[in-house]
């Protein structure tokens, strides 16, 4: 959202929410669309992302300057200027996640964080993680083989490999699982 506000001149003047939604959809087609009606932009989703970008814990990049109008903060201007060039040519579009997928992600993340393998990884005891614990971390066992095993492993790596809390464990435990 910060990039959309920046590209619409939000460093100097307030930008309307609907304009931001259109620019965001132009930058990342489908990312802010309805799941059931993918050709339609979900304005509530765009608004929620703007409110998140306003929070100090998320960078404090934008300010709500009136009813449905947003401007960049000085921090937001610096952030956008430094990173806008890296956005060129990158496909940031995606389909919206279904409620089922969101629930799966949340429950899998909680399960992985509560696993014995993750506890040992966090304690710096990676060598103490057994093959069974590493496989259980990825929900693998001797019955999941071949292509199904690889697909299951890749899905979890793709979804959680960059997770701030789980990412390093996913990468380290992947090596343990693939070694065996």
- What CATH number does the domain containing 83 carry? 1.10.10.10
Could you tell me if 11 and 49 lie in one domain?
yes
The answer to whether the pTM exceeds 0.85 is no
Assess if residue 92 is contained within a domain: no
Are both 74 and 105 inside the same structural domain?
no
Together in a domain, 75 and 132: no
Instruction: Please tell me whether residues 108 and 168 are part of one structural domain.
Output: yes
Q: Is 51 in the same domain as 18? A: yes
Write down the mean pLDDT value for the chain: 86
Which residues does 170 contact at the CB level (< 8 Å), separation at least 6?
112, 156, 157, 160, 161, 163
Domain-embedded: residue 156 = yes
pLDDT of residue 20: 93
Total domains in the chain come to 2
The verdict on 83 and 103 lying in the same domain is no
Which of 59, 87, 115 delimits the end of a domain?
87
Claim to verify: residue 13 and residue 52 sit in the same structural domain: yes
Taking only the tens place, the pLDDT of each residue in 17-29 is 999 999 998 888 8
Domain region containing 164: 99-179
On whether residue 94 sits in a domain, the answer given is no
Whether residues 27 and 48 fall in one domain: yes
pLDDT in tens for each of the 180 residues of the chain? Answer: 888 888 888 877 788 999 999 999 888 888 888 888 888 999 999 999 999 999 999 888 998 877 888 888 888 888 888 887 776 665 544 455 677 878 988 999 999 999 999 999 999 999 999 999 999 999 998 888 887 888 888 888 888 887 889 999 999 999 888 865
| Residues 104 and 172 reside in one and the same domain | yes
- What is the DSSP annotation of the chain? -HHHHHHTTTTTS-EEHHHHHHHHHHHSTTTTB-SSSTTSB-HHHHHHHHHHHHSGGGT--EEEEETTEEEE-HHHHHHHHHHHHHHTT-----PPPPHHHHHHHHHHHHHHHTSHHHHHHHTT-GGG--HHHHHHHTT--TTS-HHHHHHHHHHHHHHHTT-TTTHHHHHHHHHHHHH-
Tell me which of 53, 87, 121 is where a domain ends. 87
pLDDT at res. 93: 45
Co-location of 80 and 121 in the same domain: no
């Amino acid at each position: 959202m910060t990039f959309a506000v920046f590209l619409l001149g939000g460093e100097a003047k307030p930008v309307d929410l609907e304009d931001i939604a259109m620019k965001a959809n132009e930058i990342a087609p489908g990312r802010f669309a309805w799941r059931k009606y993918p050709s339609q932009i979900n304005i509530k989703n765009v608004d929620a992302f703007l409110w998140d970008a306003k929070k100090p814990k998320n960078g404090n990049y934008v300010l709500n300057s009136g009813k449905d109008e947003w401007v960049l903060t000085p921090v937001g201007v610096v952030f956008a200027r430094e990173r806008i060039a890296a956005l060129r040519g990158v496909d940031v579009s995606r389909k919206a996640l279904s409620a089922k997928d969101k629930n799966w992600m949340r429950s899998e993340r909680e399960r992985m964080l509560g696993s014995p393998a993750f506890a040992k990884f966090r304690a710096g005891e990676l060598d103490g993680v057994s093959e069974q614990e590493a496989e259980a971390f990825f929900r693998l066992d001797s019955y999941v083989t071949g292509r199904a095993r690889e697909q299951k492993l890749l899905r979890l790596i793709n979804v959680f490999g960059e997770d701030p809390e789980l990412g390093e464990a996913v990468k380290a435990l992947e090596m343990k699982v693939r070694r065996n």
